[in-house]
Structure 1
Amino acid sequence: MTVLQAPNAPAPAARADDRWLARRRWARAGWLYAFMLVMSLFFLGPFLMGLLSSMKDDPNEYPPRLAIPQLSARYIGAAYNLGVQGGGDGWNGGLSPGRTVNFDVSVRSPQGAPQAPPTVALFPYQPVSLVSIARYAQARDFAQVQVTPTGSVGETRSYRITVRYPALTRQTGRVVTGQLTAPTDTLSARLENGQVVPVTLDTPEAQAVQFNLNQYQPVELVENGGRYYLRGPTFERTPLQVDVQRGQSLESSTLPPSDRQNFGRSLAYRNVTPGVLGYTFNNYRRAFNETTNPATGNSLFLKWVLNSFLYAFLRVIAAVVFCSLAGYALARLNFPGKNLVFIGAVLFAQMVPPQVNLISNYVLLKDLNLLNIWGLWFNGLVAAGGVFLMKQFFEGMPRELEESASIDGAGPFTTFWRVMLPQAGPALIALSITQFQGAWNDFFWPLIILRENTNFTLTVGLSNFRQLYGGQGDYGLILAGAILSAIPVIIIFVIFQRYFVDTGADSAVKG
């Protein structure tokens, strides 16, 4: 039997070779993507691990867990409900006068172990702060705690812990919040609109705590007939301690405990009225709140972020203006000493470390009274690396563009401004990103020049976090600050990375 084959049909051996080449191409592509995936995890792994750890109550746990309660929908919903019960706000939480909070726990009590209910109590929590502040009142001094059995299943007994905070006034009316002013013979408070009002104490309980409340203490008031009555201080946190007997163990609770001590029999909940922000993003909220000056209400952390943005913005503007002008002049213009200027002012400036001229620059800025953000910007006004980048870019552009502009009667500056600079978009984007990143992460000169904590950039402020909180092992707040400092650089790069392409200048020239 004779098999007929089309004249142009490939031979079986050729088809096998094509399939083998196709498999090789797919295998190479697969290995390439696998390598890129591994490298992305290698570079992004520390950032993602820091992001997850910044949300934990205990970022020092070992081995570290990727599944954390702060990202669980169940516990986020519970935190929201507890925030509503304690402060009427499911996002910010807190404990306000007249509120009652119910917190459930389940304790396993095997046969032969004590069957007594757990011992509960509120404990004080005074956060460490970069700003010297008076110690605020504590929830344990005003709230009452009660334990009630709610049922049992086998060896597990369920209990409801009720935290009740009675109001200090008998008055009813419009409830407002405020902050106590400087203590005098009569109590007064500053409302949220800035108005200072006298506070009436109409119960013995309110009169008893009058001189126990410090200045700047957040309080809740009742407005009735133009008069303001003290309803009670408000609290951001409601720390709860639960102790079980030997032989007992905690099975479950509305929120998982923040800390376990005494072989798991002493359980600490740093806040049983957290709200979503106080539970999932507690360390981030602390970064802003624990640096707030109570006298002014301004957050130092927010000020550091704004200072870093201002410094980075000024550096970018200066680099775009001066580096593009200097780079074009060194690349295209002919003037005496051009090579000497390039070698001495650009290359040599990059080779000399900044520590060499530390004293001279500092003395100069001090004499000019520029030990602030403006002096920091003036110290790095022209970036030698930026000049080198722009020079190399302009040298790679075709001279026909300038010749065409010259024929039309354009001078050097008009040629630069109207012809060359519009073609330098990718180089300017690259220059802006590198300058922004360098200014945002700059630490050495801000540490030397900036003296007041209100003038700090974010890098210098985070170093204070490390000194203050690192010694106590409170790395969650440090990680939160580090993550916040990394986000702007990532966003800038993601937005502008698509501009890292060719200029298209070659297509502007025919021939």
Structure 2
Amino acid sequence: MNSPSQTPPAARAKPAVRGADRAFAIIAHVVLGIWALLVLLPLLWMIFTSFKSSQEILTSPFGLPETLRLDNYARAWREAQIGDYLWNTVIVVGVSLVLVMALGAMCSYVLARFRFPGNRIIYYSLIAGLTFPIFLAVIPLFFVLNGMGLIGKGPMGLVGVILAYVAFALPFTVFFLYAFFRSLPEEISEAAAIDGAGDFRTFFQVMLPMAWPGIVSVAIFNFLGLWNQYLLPLVLNTDRNNYVLAQGLVNLQAQQGYRTDWGGMFASVVITVIPVLVVYVLCQRQIQAGVSPGTDK
């Protein structure tokens, strides 16, 4: 039987390692718990406040509502035109998301799987777009779109915003999906070619389904970024009838200096946040799956 002095160093180190792991896990759980409270408490306060009257909000901002004032949501939907702003946002973000995912997937696949002159130049040019501050581009972009007749009243005003959204989200989409397509095995595309599949069929029927977790993940990130976008529509979307939710909320907040409908204001904010929460809750597994390739190497 070995004496304590003869115990191997690795065996003596195991309790210390386990203790350090346990301490790290406790600290990590405490930090995550505090972070969760910092995120959830303001959200819950906003939801409770949306059911209060303006007088309750001013006199008892942290108390529970005496009655659930559902009329706040009715006023926000009709009088504050949140329903119209929501519809405009769904159109702009939906069309932009479809375009940017289609273009980004095809562009990243070609750049990742094919070699041709200028391949790296195109890729690095797109990546450079991630480093360019958006506020430096909005004024030139306004004059370009205005010269094309895509600024102003009518549906064409939304077309200009959609094109700007696509250009804004495309570099990130290519950057994300490029690494994903590069990680997919070459043997699968070679097997498809042996079976007689062309480049288009290989992409749409073989490689695209394999990259689906990454595509869903980047689509969710793009949705969140475009849904909360404010600077681009502020400069490019000048028609009040075409306002998106971010513009509508700012306009509604400015009106609170003359009107005291704070209940309707908080109800409008809740209506704006609900689609984002729904998308995240339904797609959180896809986000986690997107951090790794669809097949093992």
> Shorter-normalised TM-score: what interval?
0.7 to 0.9
Query: Is the CA contact (8 Å cut-off) linking 2:108 and 2:177 kept in structure 1?
Result: yes
Query: Is the CA contact (8 Å cut-off) linking 1:446 and 1:460 kept in structure 2?
Result: yes
Give the 3-state SS of the residue equivalent to 2:135 in structure 1: coil
**CA offsets 1:460-511 (integer angstroms, 9 cap, x no match):** 11111011114555433222211211110110011011113144412xx7xx
Within 5 Å, which residues of 2 pair with 1:121-132? none
Cα deviation, residue 35, structure 1: 4.1
Name the CA shift for 1:70/1:328 in 2 (closer, same or farther; >3 Å).
same
Distance in 2, matches of 1:32 and 1:49, equals: 26
Letter in 1 for 2:34: V
Find the counterpart in structure 1 of residue 175 from structure 2: 388
**CA offsets 1:62-116 (integer angstroms, 9 cap, x no match):** 6643433125xxxxxxxxxxxxxxxxxxxxxxxxxxxxxxxxxxxxxxxxxxxxx
Of 247, 252, 264, the residue aligned with 1:477 is 264
Distance in 2, matches of 1:348 and 1:27, equals: 42
Cα deviation, residue 358, structure 1: 2.4
Find the counterpart in structure 1 of residue 146 from structure 2: 366
* Greater C-alpha radius of gyration: 1
Find the counterpart in structure 2 of residue 290 from structure 1: 79
Point out which structure has higher relative CO (alpha carbons under 8 A, 6+ apart). 2
Query: Is the CA contact (8 Å cut-off) linking 1:308 and 1:457 kept in structure 2?
Result: yes
Distance in 2, matches of 1:496 and 1:334, equals: 34
Task: Give the TM-score, by structure 1 length.
Answer: 0.49
Within 5 Å, which residues of 2 pair with 1:454-465? 454-465=241-252
Find the counterpart in structure 2 of residue 429 from structure 1: 216
RMSD: 2.7
Find the counterpart in structure 1 of residue 43 from structure 2: 47
Distance in 2, matches of 1:67 and 1:370, equals: 47
Find the counterpart in structure 2 of residue 323 from structure 1: 104
Query: Is the CA contact (8 Å cut-off) linking 1:59 and 1:476 kept in structure 2?
Result: no
Cα deviation, residue 347, structure 1: 1.7
Distance in 1, matches of 2:133 and 2:24, equals: 44
**CA offsets 1:201-250 (integer angstroms, 9 cap, x no match):** xxxxxxxxxxxxxxxxxxxxxxxxxxxxxxxxxxxxxxxxxxxxxxxxxx
Cα deviation, residue 28, structure 1: 7.0
Of 199, 213, 237, the residue aligned with 1:450 is 237
Distance in 1, matches of 2:172 and 2:56, equals: 39
**Which one has the bigger helix percentage?**
2
Find the counterpart in structure 1 of residue 118 from structure 2: 337
Distance in 1, matches of 2:144 and 2:37, equals: 46
Name the CA shift for 1:23/1:357 in 2 (closer, same or farther; >3 Å).
closer
Does residue 130 of structure 2 align to residue 350 of structure 1?
yes
Give the 3-state SS of the residue equivalent to 1:70 in structure 2: coil
Query: Is the CA contact (8 Å cut-off) linking 2:104 and 2:174 kept in structure 1?
Result: yes
Distance in 1, matches of 2:190 and 2:56, equals: 63
Name the CA shift for 1:466/1:334 in 2 (closer, same or farther; >3 Å).
same
Query: Is the CA contact (8 Å cut-off) linking 2:82 and 2:248 kept in structure 1?
Result: yes
Name the CA shift for 1:59/1:376 in 2 (closer, same or farther; >3 Å).
farther
Identity of aligned residues (%): 27
Task: Give the TM-score, by structure 2 length.
Answer: 0.82
Find the counterpart in structure 2 of residue 226 from structure 1: none
Count of aligned residue pairs for this structure pair = 273
Query: Is the CA contact (8 Å cut-off) linking 1:315 and 1:435 kept in structure 2?
Result: no
Give ranges in structure 2 of 5+ residues lacking alignment.
1-16, 152-156
Name the CA shift for 1:460/1:59 in 2 (closer, same or farther; >3 Å).
farther
Letter in 1 for 2:166: L
Cα deviation, residue 385, structure 1: 0.7
Name the CA shift for 1:470/1:281 in 2 (closer, same or farther; >3 Å).
farther
Cα deviation, residue 362, structure 1: 1.4
Distance in 1, matches of 2:274 and 2:213, equals: 23
Find the counterpart in structure 2 of residue 493 from structure 1: 280
Distance in 2, matches of 1:381 and 1:22, equals: 50
Distance in 2, matches of 1:350 and 1:441, equals: 18
